[in-house]
Structure 1
C-alpha cells in the first residue's frame, strides 16, 4: 500500500539519482538519460522499502521471513544488459572463502563466470571480494549495461551510496570495490538469498575444492539443476 512515507522515499531517491547522474554527465562526459534515471530511482526506492519492511519483520518477530515484495526467484535483466550475481562461502575457522560471479544475459543463458579462493577476515569482506571479481568480470562486456547483484544488503548499500564499511575488517576491500566501480557506471542490486542460489552454490563448490574448471560451459549437474529451477536454459553444449 502506498503511504506518504513511501512517496517521500521515492522522491528522495529520484532527486538523489538526478544529482548522481548530473555528476556522471559532467565529470565522465556521459549523455543524459532521463529514462534510465527514472528506472534506477524507482528500483532503488523499491529495494529500500522492501529491505525496511524485512528489517521491521525481523525486529518484531525475531525471524527471517521474506515479504512477498522481495523476489525469491532469479529473474533475467533487460535486453542488452548483463546481470552478474555474486556470493561468497566463508569458513570462520580457516578464514578461507570461495567467491563466485555468474554473468547471465536477458535470455537467461550463463555466458561467463569468475571464481577464486582466498583469505577473508570476515563474511562481509568475503562478499566484497566476490563483488570485486564481478567488476573484473564486467570488463568482458565493455559496451553493455551491467547489473551487479549480491544478497548482502549491507555491502550493496555501502557501494551504491559510497558509505564507509560497517565492518572495519572489510573496510579495505570495500574501499577497493568502491574505487574500481567508480571507473565505470554500474547498476547495483540487492536480492534475497533464495534468488541467488546459483552464485551461492558455485561459491560453495569453490570453497570445498569441488568446482570444475569448465563449470561455465559444462556446469556440474548440481548447478544445472539450479539453472533449470530458475526457469532458464543452461549454457549451450559445445
Structure 2
C-alpha cells in the first residue's frame, strides 16, 4: 500500500482508514477483530458485500478480501463521539498522510488515543 494523496470522499477516507487498521491487525497477529466506524454507509456496504458507492467501492472490496484472513471479524457502526481513533485516521488520510509505516509503527498521536 502506498501513500494516499487524494481522496474523493468521506466514504473513501473512512474505508481507507478501515483497510489500514485491518492490515495492522493482521501484521500484529490478531485473529479476532472488531472494527468500529461512524460511517454507517461504509459499514453497511462491507457487511452486505454490496459495493455500490463508486468513490469507495474498490477499497471496500479490498477490505472484504483482506477480512477473509481473520478467524472472526465484525464491522460495527458507532457514533462519531465514540470513535476518536477512526476520526483521527480519516482526518489524517484526507490531509494526504497514510504512510506504509502505520502498519508497523503507529504515530505517537494515534497511539495516545488507543
- TM-score, normalised via structure 2 length: 0.69
Determine which of 111, 118, 125 is the counterpart of 2:12.
Answer: 125
Residues 1-238 of structure 1 mapped to structure 2, 5 A cutoff: 117-165=4-52, 167-184=53-70, 185-205=72-92, 207=95, 215-216=107-108, 219=109, 224=112, 227=113
SS in structure 2 opposite 1:126? helix
Deviation at residue 203 of structure 1 after TM alignment:
4.0
SS in structure 2 opposite 1:156? helix
Measured at CA, do residues 164 and 214 of structure 1 come closer, stay the same or move farther in structure 2, by a change above 3 Å? closer
Cα distance in 1 between the residues matched to 2:64 and 2:85: 25
| Contact preservation (8 Å) 2:16, 2:59 | yes
SS in structure 1 opposite 2:55? helix
C-alpha root-mean-square deviation of aligned residues, in Å?
2.9
Measured at CA, do residues 136 and 194 of structure 1 come closer, stay the same or move farther in structure 2, by a change above 3 Å? same
Measured at CA, do residues 155 and 203 of structure 1 come closer, stay the same or move farther in structure 2, by a change above 3 Å? closer
Q: Which has the higher contact order (CA 8 A, sep 6+)?
A: 2
Where structure 2 has 5 or more consecutive residues not aligned to the other structure, the ranges are 98-104
Deviation at residue 130 of structure 1 after TM alignment:
1.0
Larger Rg: 1
Cα distance in 2 between the residues matched to 1:152 and 1:161: 14
Where structure 1 has 5 or more consecutive residues not aligned to the other structure, the ranges are 1-115, 228-233
- TM-score, normalised via structure 1 length: 0.37
Measured at CA, do residues 215 and 176 of structure 1 come closer, stay the same or move farther in structure 2, by a change above 3 Å? closer
Give 1 or 2: higher strand fraction.
1
Give 1 or 2: higher helix fraction.
2
